[in-house]
Amino acid sequence: MTEGPAVEWYNGRMKSSPPAADGRRAEFEALYERHNRELWALAYARWMDADLALDIAQEAFMRLWKHWEAGEEDIQNPRAWLLRVARNLAEDYAKSSFRRNGTTPPQLMNGVKSRDLMPLDSMEKAEAFAKIRATLEDLPQGDRDILTLRYALEYDATKIADLLGINATAVHMRLSRARQRLADRLTAEGTTVIP
Amino acid sequence: MNTNTPTPNPAGDDLDRLFAAYFQAEMPKKWPAAPRPWADKPRAANTSPRTDPSHRSRWALAASVALLIGSCWYLSGHITDGRTKPQFNPDGTASPTAIEKNLGKDKADPKVAPIPGMP
pLDDT tens digits, residue range A8-48? Answer: 444 444 444 445 677 888 999 999 999 999 999 999 999 99
More confident residue, A195 or A25: A25
Dihedral angle over CA of A21, A25, A28, A32, nearest 10 = 170
Higher pLDDT, A161 or B119: A161
Report the C-alpha gap between B110 and B112 in whole angstroms. 5
Handedness of CA A48, A49, A53, A54 (dihedral sign): positive
Q: Quick check: B35 and A61 CB within 8 A?
A: yes
Residue B37: pLDDT over 50? yes
Chain A CB contacts of B45 below 8 Å: 69
List CB contacts (< 8 A) between A32 and chain B.
34-35
Which residues lie across from B94 on neighbouring strands?
A: B88
Q: What is the pLDDT of residues B39-55, one digit of tens each?
A: 865 554 444 545 566 77
Averaged pLDDT score across all residues of chain A = 80
Nearest one of A138, A130, A157, A135 to A146, comparing CA atoms: A157
Rounded to 10 degrees, the C-alpha dihedral B24/B26/B31/B32 comes to 180
CB contact under 8 A, A172 and B38: no
Q: Which of B1, B21, B44 sits opposite A172 (nearest CB)?
A: B1
Count Cβ–Cβ pairs < 8 Å, chain A vs chain B.
81
| Interface ipTM | 0.74
Cα separation, B80 vs B87, whole angstroms = 11
Chain A residue whose CA is closest to B21? A195
